[in-house]
């Protein structure tokens, strides 16, 4: 006498019959969740750094151009943090946004605080800007175009 498992009928579901996610899907979910968290942390730090620039930095730096540069860096970081949240399911765009914010805003913050010490970062700023532009273009024309797929927590 042979034992066979019953064949599920259409519409039936059984925990024993459900398969776990393939490793590639699991990796994509983990990557999406990582970029989601990075975007949220970058957003929080943008607000904090923007507030510092508006209040604390004015006590240390009198040059209005430097204060405006700091404000620009915080603004771009905040806008692109939201873009990173939207792009969290697109690893190419998300990587470009992360690199772009780090290089663009990060170099401006450093140059504002100490231009002489961090002048080697001057060429990094436009590279960061190009990464931000590329991130938007990947969202527009990349393979994974369309509405975002929000990570599930």
Query: Residue 100 is part of which domain span?
Result: 27-141
Angle made by CA atoms 50, 85, 134, in degrees to the nearest 5: 90
Residue 132 domain-assigned (yes or no): yes
- Residue 1, pLDDT > 80, answer no
Q: Is residue 90 part of a domain?
A: yes
Q: E-assigned strands of the chain?
A: none
pLDDT of 42 > 80? The answer is: yes
Q: How far apart are CA 138 and CA 120, in angstroms?
A: 29
Rounded Cα distance, 131 and 95, in Å: 9
Domain count, the chain: 1
Question: Is 151 inside a domain boundary?
Answer: no
49-63 average pLDDT score: 93
Q: Are 125 and 108 in contact (CB under 8 A)?
A: yes
Question: Tell me, what's the pLDDT at 92?
Answer: 94
In a domain, 69, yes or no: yes
Encode pLDDT of 110-120 as tens digits.
999 999 999 99
Q: Does 146 reside within a domain? A: no
């Amino acid at each position: 006498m042979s034992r066979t498992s019953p064949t599920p009928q259409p519409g039936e579901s059984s925990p024993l019959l459900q398969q776990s996610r393939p490793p590639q899907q699991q990796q994509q979910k983990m990557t999406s969740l990582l970029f989601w968290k990075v975007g949220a942390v970058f957003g929080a730090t943008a607000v904090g750094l923007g507030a510092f620039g508006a209040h604390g930095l004015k006590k240390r730096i009198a040059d209005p151009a430097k204060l405006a540069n700091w404000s620009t860096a915080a603004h771009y970081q905040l806008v692109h943090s939201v873009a990173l949240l939207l792009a969290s399911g697109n690893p190419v765009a998300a990587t470009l946004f992360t690199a772009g914010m780090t290089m663009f805003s990060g170099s401006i913050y450093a140059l504002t605080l100490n231009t002489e010490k961090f002048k080697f970062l001057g060429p990094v700023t436009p590279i960061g800007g190009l990464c931000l532009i590329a991130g938007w273009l990947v969202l527009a024309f990349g393979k994974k175009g369309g509405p975002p797929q929000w990570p599930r927590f």
